[in-house]
Amino acid sequence: MCDDGGVAVSSMSSVRRWLMLAIALSATLCANVFINGVAFLIPTLNSERGLDLARAGLMSAMPSLGMVVTLIAWGYVVDRVGERLVLTLGSALTAAAGFAAASAESLVAVAAFLFLGGMAAASSNTASGRLVVGWFAAEQRGLVMGIRQTAQPLGVGLGALVIPRVAENHGVSAALLFPAIVCAASALMCLAVIDPPRTPRAQASEADLANPYRDSRLLFRIHLASGLLVVPQVLVWTFTLVWLISERGWSPGSAGLLVTFAQVLGAGGRIAAGRWSDSVLKRSGGDVFGARTRPIRIIAGAAAVCMASLALLDWLDSPLSVAMMMAASVVTVSDNGLAFTAIAEIAGPFWSGRALGTQNTSQLFTAGIVPPLFGGLIGIAGYPVAFAVCALFPLMAIPAVPVAVSPATPVGD
């Protein structure tokens, strides 16, 4: 396992390290308002533009599909030139795409600009991960990456709080201005980023420069497990708002508030999972890899139970289904920080950008196809069936998660 944190930790004050974390978190949060915020336009796209659930779901997936195209490329740029340039440029381009989408007349043009914005927003996912590994010691990284990973649920929550209200009162175009504005502000903040130091490439060891995918299946297995675990995440954050409105009779404003609250709870779940991982590391006598991956298996089992329970409660039309949806909102997002930390630690300073780009590509490809596929399934068979089918994915993820004592072990178990 590669580790590039030692030099960095000794060369920067604690306050400045946490400032770098705050900027990385903010950049990814703003990007996620853009990436996931379109899901909260689904009710308005239905009422104002006449799109059915499957087509509205496809529209909401356009930023995710755009990210799939460029994640590994952004990662390559990060590995070559560092995080500051990538975060600043990516945020600025995302903002530009958001303003263009807001001013576009046709839905085809809106979809195209959302796709282009997703291509730009991929920058924050590949760049901000190495800031954690580069500036913090191993026994802190689980917690710190958990905090950084709160950007996604907090970004989804912020979007849920603002976008449905603006869309309801002023339409789709006005609602798209909000993610554009926050991404523009993010680009200015990212100018203050300080890249983590690392050994010059010419002086780096062969181990640091070696391709971490060549002789081990560990990274492939983490990517596979994470791709399966992202299915319930995407289903929950894409359809909770419209489910509350259409199935439970909530108003858009009240439903948006509940989704925001659920995402804040989900952010807390990611921090708790990261802290749990650091505690496991301290008790394990240095098994860094197992401390990150063993909790993922437990979270995967809990996610399967939540989705199956949600299916049953919704089928029974129980009011407890809302509480179970909240529980699913927390559990299904808790594993992300652990997987990101393990990948960055395994890949090291010269491959972490591409490895995190590959991780995001597998997740975002799944995130791009889940809304239209499950939107169609919901339209045909209803929400309970969709929730039940979704429970199968975290079940399949459990055996895919490697829990080797040493990441040098090729098989993982």
Under 8 Å between Cβ of 156 and 263: yes
What's the mean per-residue pLDDT of the chain?
81
The pLDDT, as a whole number, for residue 106 is 84
> Can you give the pLDDT at residue 355?
81
Is pTM, for the whole model, over 0.85? Answer: no
- Give the Cα separation of 157 and 278 in Å (integer): 27
**Position 243: which residue type?**
W
Instruction: Please check the confidence at residue 170 and state whether its pLDDT lies above 80.
Output: yes
Task: Report whether 257 contacts 394 (CB < 8 A).
Answer: no
Q: Which residue has the higher pLDDT, 390 or 60?
A: 390
Q: What is the predicted pLDDT for the residue at 5?
A: 44
Q: pLDDT higher for 83 or 383?
A: 383
Question: Which backbone phi and psi does 194 adopt, to 5 degrees?
Answer: -115, 120
Q: What is the mean pLDDT of residues 300-314?
A: 94
* Residue 83 to residue 79: CA distance in whole angstroms: 8
The better pLDDT of the pair 287, 186 is held by: 186
Q: Please, which pLDDT band fits residue 12 given cuts at 50, 70 and 90?
A: low
Region 238-260 average pLDDT: 83
Q: Cα Rg for the chain, rounded, in angstroms?
A: 20
pLDDT for 68 equals 82
84-88, 210-214, 275-279, range with greatest mean pLDDT? 84-88
367/287: higher pLDDT: 367
Residue whose token pair is 């049953």? 312
Most confident segment among 39-43, 54-58, 176-180: 176-180
How far apart, in Å, are the Cα atoms of 315 and each of 2, 67, 381? 48, 35, 11
For the stretch 63-112, pLDDT in tens is 988 888 888 888 888 877 878 889 999 999 999 999 999 988 888 898 99
pLDDT score for 294 = 83
The encoded tokens of residue 32 equal: 């996620």
Q: State residue 290's pLDDT score.
A: 67
The answer to whether residue 6 scores a pLDDT higher than 60 is: no
The answer on pLDDT for 260 being more than 70 is yes
- Of 95-109, 236-250, 346-360, 399-413, give the range with the top mean pLDDT: 95-109
Please, is 214 exposed, middle or buried when counting C-beta atoms within 10 Å of its C-beta (0-12, 13-18, 19+)? exposed
pLDDT value for 143: 82
Q: pLDDT tens digits for 109-145?
A: 989 999 999 999 988 877 766 677 777 776 777 788 7
Q: What is the pLDDT of residue 384?
A: 93
Q: What is the pLDDT of residues 312-363, one digit of tens each?
A: 999 998 989 999 999 998 899 888 778 877 787 777 767 777 787 788 788 8
Higher pLDDT, 215 or 310: 310
Rounded Cα–Cα distance for residues 154 and 150 (Å): 6
pLDDT of residue 413: 35
- Return the pLDDT at 242: 83
Alpha carbons 303 and 307: distance in angstroms, whole number: 6
Q: Of 75-79, 108-112, 146-150, 212-216, which has the strongest mean pLDDT?
A: 108-112
8 A C-beta contact, residue 155 and residue 36: yes
Confidence of residue 289 (pLDDT cuts 50, 70, 90): low
At 310, is the pLDDT very low, low, confident or very high (cuts 50, 70, 90)? Answer: very high
With 50 as the cut, is the pLDDT of residue 206 above it?
Answer: yes
Say if CB 21 and CB 144 are below 8 A apart: yes
> Taking a C-beta distance cutoff of 8 angstroms, is the pair 281, 288 a contact?
yes
For residue 49, pLDDT beyond 90? no
**What span, in angstroms and rounded, lies between the C-alpha atoms of 8 and 108?**
46
